[in-house]
Structure 1
Amino acid sequence: MNPSPPVTWRTHYALLVLASIYVFNYIDRQLMAILIEPVKLEFGISDTGIGLLSGVTFAVFYTVFGLPLGRLSDRIGRKPVIAFSCMAWSLMTMLCGMAGSFFTLVLARIGVAIGEAGGTAPSVAMVSDLYPPQRRSTALAVLMLGSSLGAIVGLGLGGWIAQQHGWRYAFLLIGAPGILLGLLLLLTVRAPKPVRLQQANAAPAEGWLRTLGELLRMPSFPWLVLTGGAAAIAGYAIGTWSPSFLIRSHGLNMQQAGFLVGVIGGSGSTIGTLVCGMLTDRLARRDVGWQIGVPLLGTLLSIPFALAYFLWPQGIAFYIGDTPVPQAFLFYSAFGFFGVWWATPCLGAITHLFPANRLAQATAIFVMAMTLLGVGLGPLLIGMLSDLFLPRLQGESLRYALAASVVLLVLAAVFLALALPRYRAQIKGLASGKVVGAVAV
């Protein structure tokens, strides 16, 4: 593959704008988590219904549009796809606040999903176009801070707005800035096509089914996709239902739960994302296997902290102002630090495996697995388990439903262990100029 352009202040500015857009991608996606209780109350729906709204409905449309939009960005460039997608999902988030029924809220969330389908994969591809391989995991870590910072703002600020002014204002006020960010990217970021993308576009176009088949025949790639799916099911389930868990099992109100999960938990995830990105770049220079070894290590370390968070009994550790901090939440902070280590290095691994004309599509497949399985099944699975446990466990049904989700983190660790030797062999093959798997590079 050809080297990326030189890194200048314009490169860092582009990364800053992309990271800001990614923050609002996750704010708009995660905002629903802190608004579960008032939305349930207004529309009279069950936990399973909430799981369908925040999970399957979102995930199906995100998945359907993810690959075509990734393919479009591979052909016409990353910037216009990201910019217009950002403006679209932000507008639809605002429309969520105007929903007059549960059905219209579902339609608005579908619009958010379609817009966000054009955000993540093209952004990862654009960062990989801007930065050289030896700096890419750190740059991607900055981009991926969006998920943690999005939780801080979406849950923390969203909870405060909803507590003070109602859940509808949370959607309206938090959705608006994304429209301005989309325009900022479109009008101020210079994103000329990198040489490697120009060369890739000179190649004849392939059918998407053929491209999909060849991508999935790459030795390590299917295991990375399975990792993303399994880890995302647990991650989205925990992220979506944690505020409700703190409200139901530890007696917090909506604003307190949003502050703890968003601001405190999100800060731990932010630090964890940066640490894992820099650690991966440093260790992968010595042995390329650390690109997969770091997420494997982080996933294994996160498992005991997740179990302790869900199973620890009631009890207040200390107060932050007027907000009680349950003892169990101390384990959530540690889980948040290690639990994000799988995402950035796996995305970085994909950028090392594929040429430019397939990079956004390969990333889209990984993100689609995360979304279809994670966003689609995670919240729904926990909602169904909670309803199933309700007759026997009453108010603690959600606690044990969430504890069951940790099994998925064990599966993610197994998939990473299977991916590691295959990835190392592929990278060595790429370095020697060999044809690796089904894709010549």
Structure 2
Amino acid sequence: MADQQSNISRTTSPNVALGMLLLVYIFNFVDRQILAILAGPIQADLGLSDTQMGLLGGLAFALLYSTLAVPLAWVADKTSRSWVITVSLAVWSGFTALTGLAQGFWSIFLMRLGVGVGEAGGVAPSYALISDHFPSEKRARALAIYSLGIPLGSATGVIAGGYIAATVDWRLAFFVVGLSGLLIAPLFKYFVRDKAKVPAPAEQTVAPYSFMGTVHILARKRAFWLLAFGAASSSMLGYGIAFWLPSLLQRSFGLSLIDTSLFYGAILLFGGVAGVLGGGMIGDRLGKNNKAAYGLVPAAAFLLAVPLFAAGIMSGSATIAFILFLIPQALAYFWLGPVLSAVQHLVPAESRATASALFLLINNLIGIGGGIFFLGALSDSLTPIYGEDGLRYSMLYSLTFYVIAAALMALAARPLKKEWIAED
């Protein structure tokens, strides 16, 4: 007990905590995105269909990732958020490395289940740690900086994975990425510690750290459900495009594996970073005086992204497609800072990780579990009609998910103003 109190008393600088959490999140998305750039070599080596790859990229990962996130977040709220993240990083990195030994569909499926188990304990406790270290008026920007792990990790996974696979072997890419994450785990725990928990007020009616207490709070929050299902709808397309765009670039635009990795890596890096930071800054600025902005900003971004994505998908030139994809890729990330910050403000501070996990359960089970598989299965069904362009039309038709997401985010604007919990 004395050691635990001593560990907590050695406070972590907010910027150091944020920097280390960002590093872990980068590895989180390197491990997710690497399968997308390696889909071509894996399919060629193991004879897998688009539907099977959709299951590996979606359901195999999302099944346990989404469901275990809730109990692991509750454990993080009740015990140590930094320890849960550390162990999670080690587990998902280990299974990523083991993926390099896979010999067929089911062995990769099991390894992706393991990656999902590990990553289940990484994100929601990280949201809560950031909210512990940063005040309300800076929280969307801090969460946006943390969310840079998505484009940075995705771009790193695409570029590094594609280069290693093209020059050596796709299996080596999994070994390198997984073992690198294992080395980071002890460094993270050394530098990042939990903040001391503030005792709950005596008049609080919901018991602190109670899972059902958090569920009861959220059950009455219309904004939570609208934001969660809006994010899930956007993720159906977002994760689907993230997984299948490398294959589209090779099939319909004729790019090599290395050219594809550089093309898509640049889109993720420049478009993603601009979108994540832009959404966080605009959300904080507009939301300071009007909490509805945390829903309206993402809604506008999704609507603007649809025609630009459509033009890029149907373009016949890789150069023109690159330009067209940059802007909607940025707009697709605008929701992260505002929405994640809003979810943190719908529950008391001691329930943030659990609330985030429930949000992620909806977002990821539907978005990752359904989106990647849906686009792959739709591609297979459209291939007899459009041939090699079946995947292109699968993406085009799936843009409807962004329109649905925009509508749900806009509907969340009014209840957000009423249900927001002011603090700090």
Which category of TM-score, normalised to the shorter sequence, fits these structures?
over 0.9
12-21 or 331-340, larger mean C-alpha shift: 331-340
Cα deviation, residue 194, structure 1? 3.7
Of the three residues 250, 264, 269, the one matched with 1:266 is 269
| 1:190 to 2:193 alignment | yes
Of the three residues 31, 45, 66, the one matched with 1:42 is 45
Letter in 1 for 2:345: H
Indicate how the Cα distance of structure 1 residues 345 and 365 shifts in structure 2: closer, same or farther if over 3 A, else same. Answer: same
TM-score, structure 1 length as denominator? 0.89
5+ long unaligned stretches in structure 1? 316-324, 434-441
Q: Counterparts in 2 of 1:255-294, with a 5 A limit?
A: 255-294=258-297
Q: Counterparts in 2 of 1:385-400, with a 5 A limit?
A: 385-400=378-393
Of the three residues 379, 390, 403, the one matched with 1:410 is 403
**Partners in 1 of 2:142 and 2:98 — Cα distance?**
33
Of the three residues 364, 371, 374, the one matched with 1:381 is 374
Tell me if the contact between 2:16 and 2:191 (Cα under 8 Å) persists in the aligned partners: no
Cα deviation, residue 229, structure 1? 0.7
**Partners in 2 of 1:194 and 1:22 — Cα distance?**
24
Identity %: 35
Partner residue, 1:130:
133
**Partners in 2 of 1:129 and 1:232 — Cα distance?**
27
Query: Could you say what the CA RMSD is over the residues aligned between the two structures, in angstroms?
Result: 2.3
Partner residue, 2:361:
368
413-422 or 175-184, larger mean C-alpha shift: 175-184
Cα deviation, residue 356, structure 1? 2.3
Partner residue, 2:219:
216
Of the three residues 172, 176, 180, the one matched with 1:173 is 176
Indicate how the Cα distance of structure 1 residues 120 and 369 shifts in structure 2: closer, same or farther if over 3 A, else same. Answer: same
**Partners in 2 of 1:334 and 1:372 — Cα distance?**
27
C-alpha distance after superposition, 1:16-66 (max 9, x if no partner) = 000000011011011100011111111111100101111111111112211
**Partners in 2 of 1:377 and 1:239 — Cα distance?**
13
Q: Secondary structure, in 3 states, of the residue corresponding to 1:176?
A: helix
**Partners in 2 of 1:181 and 1:201 — Cα distance?**
39
**Partners in 2 of 1:176 and 1:198 — Cα distance?**
45
Letter in 2 for 1:63: S
Q: Counterparts in 2 of 1:342-353, with a 5 A limit?
A: 342-353=335-346
C-alpha distance after superposition, 1:90-139 (max 9, x if no partner) = 11100001113322111111100000000111101110010000000110
Letter in 1 for 2:270: S
Q: Secondary structure, in 3 states, of the residue corresponding to 1:353?
A: coil
The runs of 4+ residues in structure 1 deviating greater than 3 Å are: 196-211
Tell me if the contact between 1:59 and 1:113 (Cα under 8 Å) persists in the aligned partners: yes
What count of residue pairs does the alignment treat as equivalent?
A: 415
| 1:144 to 2:152 alignment | no
C-alpha distance after superposition, 1:291-348 (max 9, x if no partner) = 2222122112111111111122x22xxxxxxxxx431221111111111111221100
C-alpha distance after superposition, 1:257-294 (max 9, x if no partner) = 11111233322111111111112111212322212222
146-155 or 189-198, larger mean C-alpha shift: 189-198
Cα deviation, residue 224, structure 1? 0.8
**Partners in 2 of 1:64 and 1:200 — Cα distance?**
32
Cα deviation, residue 196, structure 1? 5.7
Indicate how the Cα distance of structure 1 residues 386 and 416 shifts in structure 2: closer, same or farther if over 3 A, else same. Answer: same
Tell me if the contact between 2:63 and 2:365 (Cα under 8 Å) persists in the aligned partners: yes
Letter in 1 for 2:126: S
Letter in 1 for 2:414: P
TM-score, structure 2 length as denominator? 0.93
Q: Counterparts in 2 of 1:252-331, with a 5 A limit?
A: 252-312=255-315, 314-315=316-317, 325-331=318-324
**Partners in 2 of 1:25 and 1:173 — Cα distance?**
14
C-alpha distance after superposition, 1:131-174 (max 9, x if no partner) = 00000011001100000001110001111111111110111111
Q: Secondary structure, in 3 states, of the residue corresponding to 2:140?
A: helix
